[in-house]
Amino acid sequence: MSRSLLKGTPNNAMPDPSHQHRIIRVALPVPLRKLFDYIGEAGQDYPIGARVKVPFGPRQLIGVVIEQSHQSEQTLAKLKNAGPALDDDSLVPEEIRQLLSFCSSYYQCPIGEAYSTALPKLLRQGEAVSLPKHEYLQLSQEGLGLPVGGLSKARKQAALLSALQEQGKLDKTDLKRLCISNSVVKAMLDKGLLNWQSEQLPTIAAGDQQKQAPLSLNEEQEAALEQLRYQQFACYLLEGTTGSGKTEVYLQAIAEVLREGRQALVLIPEIGLTPQTLGRFQNRFKCPIVAIHSGLNDKERLQAWGMAKTGQAGIIIGTRSAIFTPLYRPGIIIIDEEHDLSFKQQDGVRYSGRDLAIFRAKKANIPIMLGTATPSLESLHNAIQGRYEHLRLTRRAGAAKPPAISVEDIKQKTLIGGLSQNSLDSIANTLAAGNQVLVFLNRRGFAPSLICHNCGWVAECRHCSARMTLHKAQHQMRCHHCEASMAQPQQCPDCFSRELISQGYGTQRSEETLQEHFPDTQIIRIDRDSTRKKQAMHELLQEVDQGQPCILLGTQMLAKGHHFPNVTLVVIVDADGGLFSGDFRGPERMGQLITQVAGRAGRAEKPGKVIIQSHNKDHPLLETLLHKGYHLFARQILRERQLAYMPPYRHLALLHCDARDGLQAESFLQNMRQWLEQYAPPTPEQIYLGPFAAPMEKRKQMYRYQLQFNCESRRHMQQILNLVGQYLDQSKLPNHIRCSLDVDPLDMM
Ligand code: ADP
Ligand code: ZN
Ligand code: ZN
């Protein structure tokens, strides 16, 4: 565990002379990088992986037993007594314990926090695992004594009686189907003729679990599936253009795994778990499927966890954190849209669900498949190097053809709502032909800045180094980086001029202009503002599903996983910001986004067309992307990364330090760097950069500084990170300084 790596186990640990005390070492939900020792109650069993309640200062905490021992680094007299274990058996199975201890050492997070991240809330609070039961009605002894055709005076009771005499048991669904009301059931329960029974769901059994025939595969899909070996670890990168039938490949691989009585774990991006996606799995398979998503309440989450662990569920689909779900018999892990940023947690334990999944598959000796149309450069690099097996689907499945892509040079052109005349004409033609249009603009709000025409004053957030966005409908300025908002000013605070002008386009502004331009067309705006309410997204998408001509206008929320069969034109309003982003991953992101959005066009029988508006039509990267496709584009940026000493050729970690006073943050990092350099001197294999101000220097009233580590190998990196952990443990951080470590950061801002 991380602690012993950092300090080493002291040799002077006193063995307990009596050997009577049993020491348990417990992971507790506190931000300290260590296990805590307690004395176990005599005669009590403390299985490893079981929960235990222990005193911690004035509080009682629930932790997980990680080790048992007869000795402690501390003097026995100082150790407190643990309460009894809360579980008779190991609640957290070894597979998950290994995963969490890897997570803790790789991401340098306290082991207790890793457990907190992994376990459902109710388990952390000490509740027992609850499993959904199948409940049904049965005749009681007395009821069984009734003759066939009994209860004939009460017609409805007679109907229920005869149904039970025929079928033995009836559950709520059966009662509904038979139109038997609660009052009838209650009357018979009161007479003692019936009782409710419940039974556990069975564990999944080997055998065919398909209730719907699989599609017959095309050659590429077949070749991909043929390469898959189910009985051993390998990482497969399934690189398939949008609509090439990756999901069908997953479904057939899963069918194979289920046939052997094993389970499949499927990770999808945060907003990728649409009813559409889930429906495809449910329509195909008979076995129980649990979906782990943000809409579940605590009890449902616990049940899903339990069903996965006991093997009652055959397929577990969830977002990032589902990687910590225990499995009864793991068979395969699938990561859909593996390039998606939401697989990386951006606060707390900054783990990558994808990378942990690869570790987990390796330990469990099962295959893992990473699917995407736009591989992350990390995964592509691994595939090119031969560490992953590269499976490719280059053609759209079924009848759909790839869309025709054109670039519209908008330099010096008049724009209406952000759109060129040519784009507007194409939209009009598409609508007139009875089809739908998708307009992609990755900026919500009305306008990204409000400027004084007289003196140049700009509305900025008081708490962040960022401009405030105008939300015109609410007459508000809002910061998209913190909660701050203020009334839309009518006057410049500096020169009192009333001539304030909004600059740039957000989705709300485009919506307004498009509506003026197409007064008879429905415009469906999808962004974080329009989908704040629960179900709102679902309702908006249902409108699109009606198939009427409409303009679908939205941010990157539209780029993921949705299937819009009637969209034949996609207009990307403003695509090339990523070329000049402050983040080295900007171009990669841009390529992924453009490719994914373009992939929404013409997914069914109707051919699609994509217009990309750009100020940099001739930029070589954009040209490669558009003329040669994402794969060659990605290879081109790989070469640039190699020359720049950047991932995936090097390993990166960022230590963030935020403080009210920027100088304090900077000097804290400066001191740390000096200390680190004594033990791990800078060399070309391990480079220190900084401390420097983050690209976004101030956020939520905190000044943000970074120290960056850039290493040639994981080994070098782990060495430095262990030292960092040690330094953070030893130095007492003042209250107003916050440090956090991001290993393999995806966001440098
Ligand atoms: P992806 O996951 O790569 O975006 P999907 O699996 O969603 O692609 O497939 C896109 C469409 O093509 C779906 O409507 C799917 O039913 C259809 N499809 C996939 N594979 C086949 C096949 N072998 N034959 C016919 N249609 C297919
Ligand atoms: Zn002014
Ligand atoms: Zn702000």
Whole-angstrom Cα Rg for the chain: 30
Helices within 650-711 (DSSP H only): 662-679
**Does the pLDDT of residue 275 top 80, yes or no?**
no
For 438, the token pair is 């998708």
Ligand 1 atom with minimal separation from the 599 CA? 4
Does residue 688 surpass a pLDDT of 90?
yes
Residue ranges of the chain assigned to CATH 1.10.10: 133-200
Which helix (H) or strand (E) element contains residue 688?
A: strand 686-699
Examine the pLDDT at 4 and tell me if it is beyond 50: no
C-alpha 236/C-alpha 331 separation (Å) is 14
Domain 404-447+504-641 = CATH 3.30.365.10: no
pLDDT reading at 15 higher than 70: no
Please tell me if the CB atom of residue 217 comes closer than 6 angstroms to any atom of ligand 1: yes
CA-to-CA distance for 731 and 672, rounded, in angstroms?
10
Query: Which numbered atom of ligand 1 lies nearest the CA of 240?
Result: 3
CB 45 within 8 A of CB 89: no
Mean pLDDT of 285-297: 91
Ligand 1 pocket mutation pick from 217, 241, 247, 278 by most atoms within 8 angstroms of CB: 247
Architecture of domain 651-743: 2-Layer Sandwich (3.30)
Q: Reduced to 3 states, what is the DSSP secondary structure of residue 323?
A: helix
**245 in contact with ligand 1, CB cutoff 6 A:** yes
Q: What is the pLDDT of residues 233-270, one digit of tens each?
A: 999 999 999 889 999 999 999 999 999 999 999 999 98
Q: What's the pTM value of the predicted model, to 2 decimals? A: 0.88
Determine the distance separating the centroid of ligand 3 and the alpha carbon of 329, expressed in angstroms: 47
Closest Cα to residue 556, out of 578, 534, 539, 579? 578
> Is residue 131 within 6 Å of ligand 1 at its C-beta?
no
Q: Per-residue pLDDT tens for 311-353?
A: 999 999 999 999 999 999 999 999 999 999 999 999 999 999 9
Residues with CB under 5 A from ligand 3 (ion): 461, 463-464, 479, 481-482, 484
Q: Which atom of ligand 1 is nearest to the CA of 249?
A: 6
408-425 pLDDT, tens digit per residue, is 999 888 888 889 999 999
Element (H, E) at 584: none
Q: Which residues of 263-299 are buried (b: 16+ CB within 10 A; e: fewer)?
A: bbbbbbbebbbbeebeebbbebbebbbbbbbeebeee
- Of ligand 1's listed atoms, the one at least distance from the Cα of 242 is 4
Find out whether the beta carbon of 218 lies less than 6 Å from any atom of ligand 1: yes
Instruction: Compute φ and ψ for 369, nearest 5 degrees.
Output: -120, 125
- pLDDT at residue 63 is higher than 90: yes
Give residue 600's pLDDT: 82
Q: Please indicate whether residue 240, judged by its CB atom, sits closer than 6 Å to ligand 1.
A: yes
Q: Quick one: tokens of 717?
A: 């990196």
Test site for ligand 1: of 225, 248, 276, 369, most ligand atoms within 8 A of the Cβ: 248
Ligand 3 centroid–CA 523 distance in Å is 30
Percent of the chain clearing pLDDT 90 (strictly above): 66
Q: Are the C-beta atoms of 343 and 267 separated by less than 8 Å? A: yes
With a CB cutoff of 8 Å and minimum separation 6, the contacts of 71 are 13, 14, 15, 16, 23
pLDDT at 85: 94
Q: Which ligand is nearest to the CA of 500?
A: 2
- At 740, the pLDDT band (50, 70, 90 cuts) reads very high
Q: Spell out the residues 6+ positions from residue 412 whose beta carbon is closer than 8 angstroms to its own.
A: none
Q: What is the DSSP string of 610-650?
A: EEEEES-TT-HHHHHHHHH-HHHHHHHHHHHHHHTT-TTSS
Sign of CA dihedral 407, 411, 414, 417: positive
Q: Is 422 in the pocket of ligand 1 (CB under 6 A)?
A: no
**Which whole-number Å values give the CA distances from 492 to 256, 273, 468, 484, 515, in the listed order?**
67, 45, 14, 19, 30
| Span(s) in the chain for CATH 3.40.50.300 | 219-393, 404-447+504-641
90 closest CA partner among 45, 143, 122? 45
Dihedral angle, C-alpha 109, 113, 117, 121, nearest 10 °: 180
Residue 483 has pLDDT above 60, yes or no: yes
CATH topology for the 219-393 domain = Rossmann fold (3.40.50)
Asked if CATH classification 1.10.10 holds for the domain at 133-200, the reply, yes or no, is yes
Q: Which residues in the chain are classed under CATH 3.30.70.600?
A: 651-743
Ligand lying nearest the CA atom of residue 603: 1
Torsions phi, psi of 139, nearest 5? -75, 140
Q: Which residues have their alpha-adjacent CB atom under 5 A from ion ligand 2?
A: 452, 454-455, 457, 492, 494-495, 497
Where does the pLDDT of residue 21 fall: very low under 50, low under 70, confident under 90, or very high at 90 and above? low
Residues in Cβ contact with 3 at an 8 Å cutoff, skipping those fewer than 6 apart: 33, 34, 35, 111
Mean pLDDT score of the chain, rounded to an integer?
90
Report CA(178)–ligand 1 centroid distance (Å).
Answer: 39
Instruction: Report how far ligand 3's centroid is from the alpha carbon of 460 (Å).
Output: 8
Separation of CA 227 from chain center? 28
Tokens at residue 452, please? 């004084």
Q: Residue 10 has what pLDDT? A: 43
3-124 belongs to CATH 3.30.1490.20 = no
Cα of 461 vs centre of ligand 2, distance in Å, is 17
Q: Where are the CATH 3.40.1440.60 domain residues in the chain?
A: 3-124
Q: Tokens standing for 288?
A: 């129980």
CA distance 227 to 239: 14
- 648 preceded by cis ω (within 30°)? yes
**CA gap 277, 340 in Å, rounded:** 16
- The answer, yes or no, to whether any atom of ligand 1 lies below 6 A from the CB of 244, is yes
247 lines ligand 1 (CB under 6 A): yes
Query: Can you give the pLDDT at residue 332?
Result: 98
Q: How far is CA 383 from CA 22, 356, 392, in A?
A: 49, 18, 11
pLDDT, position 1: 37
Beta-sheet strands, E only, within 253-327: 263-267, 289-292, 315-318
